[in-house]
Structure 1
């Protein structure tokens, strides 16, 4: 058994290369091999979002607070609220973040493939974000 105290898992600012806005990421699970599960609690202030990205083994989001938005490539922008669970299939290009008028926090869960959990792409434009 290994217990990780909350004080030993401080939030950190998300990379401006991969996120728009002052996003904060708090590690939840960073399991060592042979386990592959990774999880983080991600807080998005209103209007903040990820860049377009994919996950080699897919991703599950559990919205824990607030309201958000998500979109897969070629699909409509979808609304999210606390309690919603979202699944993105392996290789599915997508983004997610807070609604324009609400903060949003979710737990993002994904498995690592050869140590990699995401492939990051271009930032979501204001026009793409505003399409919702």
Structure 2
């Protein structure tokens, strides 16, 4: 299993703080370091890090989202589609209103930049948790 010390020495941006505000919408522990928050740019960007096995709940974004994978290995799955394994350098473009989840592989830390597109259209719509059975199925 990739240890945090290994990840810490290879990450581009600092880990940030444990996500308290969004903890009800995650299974496991995640960290957030907001990199761009200035509203004049209309494009919030956060560095999100997931401990091994951590994943967020099913959700959608009113204006869409882009993920840029910068560390570790993880998963992305849209509702009704097969899960996609994510590694460093992968880009995921998520259209508005598409239910999906993303998170770390069971044996790896996972870091991505989360770019909120069209934030003026609204925020995140949180749905039900990804069950242990759903997660085990993608882990194979």
Unaligned runs of 5+ in 2: 1-12
Aligned length: 124
Higher helix proportion = 2
Q: Runs in 1 of length 4+ with deviation above 6 angstroms? A: none
Cα distance in 1 between the residues matched to 2:16 and 2:28: 19
> Partner residue of 1:21?
28
Cα distance in 2 between the residues matched to 1:118 and 1:81: 24
Please say if residues 38 and 44 of structure 2, whose CA atoms lie closer than 8 Å, have aligned partners that are also in contact.
yes
> Partner residue of 1:75?
81
Unaligned runs of 5+ in 1: 1-5
Please report how far the alpha carbon of residue 10 of structure 1 lies from its aligned counterpart in structure 2 after TM superposition. Answer: 4.6
Please report how far the alpha carbon of residue 68 of structure 1 lies from its aligned counterpart in structure 2 after TM superposition. Answer: 0.4
Q: CA RMSD in A?
A: 1.9
TM-score normalised by length of structure 2:
0.81
Matches within 5 A, 1:110-129: 110-111=116-117, 112-114=119-121, 116-129=122-135
TM-score normalised by length of structure 1:
0.86
Please say if residues 58 and 129 of structure 2, whose CA atoms lie closer than 8 Å, have aligned partners that are also in contact.
yes
